[in-house]
């Protein structure tokens, strides 16, 4: 691992843990941003936001990862890359689940949610999973696809991840700090995943 990667990784880990510890003190920022979302929320987008919830749920995203990993393994005979993808996604999900339990951050009032979420709020699992998949999948596929196709897949997945993040705020199931924490754990997972890819 290069020095720059170590520094970046250390900063992301420190920021991730710090957000978990000081989340209560950031409530004014979270409430201010929630009010901004409330003022700018275009309710006709609600069905799209609900779709992002279902599309990036544990079962749905796990199936996407499984299908991609099996394809990489069986078609390109690269089980190492397939295992890096599945292991990274599993590890990231485990860390998110543990953090939700340990940080025990309360969710915002779920005024526009289609389901009542009862687990801890920090970090957003949907956001973390979709962003991790968006960052890691193109890296895993890059040796086997033309650069333009790998980039197109990456851009599509990144767009889905960003819409998912907005959807978590739109549906009132997460605070801004939950989204930032999710992006941090995605970056951490990417750095570790790349160690086993290259």
- Is the pLDDT confidence value at 111 over 90? no
Whether 154 contacts 134, CB under 8 Å: yes
- Distant-in-sequence, close-in-space partners of 11: CB < 8 Å, separation ≥ 6: none
Per cent of the chain over pLDDT 90 is 87
Q: pLDDT of 166-182, one tens digit each?
A: 999 999 999 999 999 99
User: With left for phi above 0 and alpha for psi between -120 and 50, is residue 193 left, alpha or beta?
Assistant: alpha
* pLDDT score, position 125: 96
- The rounded mean pLDDT for the chain is 95
Mean pLDDT of 21-44: 96
- Is the pLDDT assigned to residue 138 strictly greater than 80? yes
What is the pLDDT, as a whole number, of residue 60? Answer: 93
Q: How far apart are CA 110 and CA 171, in angstroms?
A: 7
* Banded model confidence at residue 15, pLDDT cuts 50, 70, 90: very high
Domain architecture of the chain: domains with CATH? 3-197 (1.20.144)
Tens of pLDDT, residues 89-102: 999 999 999 999 99
User: What is the number of other CB atoms lying within 10 angstroms of the CB of residue 152?
Assistant: 13
Residue 46: exposed, middle, or buried by beta-carbon count in 10 A (0-12, 13-18, 19+)? middle
pLDDT greater than 90 at residue 113: no
Q: How far apart are CA 53 and CA 50, in angstroms?
A: 5
pTM score:
0.94
């Amino acid at each position: 691992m290069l020095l720059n990667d170590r520094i970046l990784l250390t900063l992301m880990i420190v920021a991730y843990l710090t957000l978990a510890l000081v989340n209560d003190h950031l409530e004014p920022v979270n409430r201010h941003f929630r009010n901004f979302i409330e003022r700018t929320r275009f309710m006709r987008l609600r069905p799209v936001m609900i779709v992002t919830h279902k599309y990036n749920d544990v079962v749905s995203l796990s199936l996407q990862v499984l299908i991609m990993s099996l394809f990489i393994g069986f078609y390109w005979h690269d089980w190492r890359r397939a295992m890096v993808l599945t292991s990274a996604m599993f590890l990231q999900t485990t860390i998110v689940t543990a953090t939700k339990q340990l940080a025990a951050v309360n969710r915002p009032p779920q005024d526009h949610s289609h389901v009542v979420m009862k687990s801890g709020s920090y970090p957003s699992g949907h956001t973390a999973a979709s962003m991790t998949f968006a960052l890691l999948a193109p890296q895993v596929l890059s040796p086997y696809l033309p650069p333009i196709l790998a980039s197109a897949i990456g851009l599509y997945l990144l767009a889905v991840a960003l819409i998912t993040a907005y959807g978590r705020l739109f549906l009132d199931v997460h605070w801004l700090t939950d989204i930032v924490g999710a992006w941090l754990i995605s970056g951490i997972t990417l750095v570790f995943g790349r160690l086993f890819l290259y």
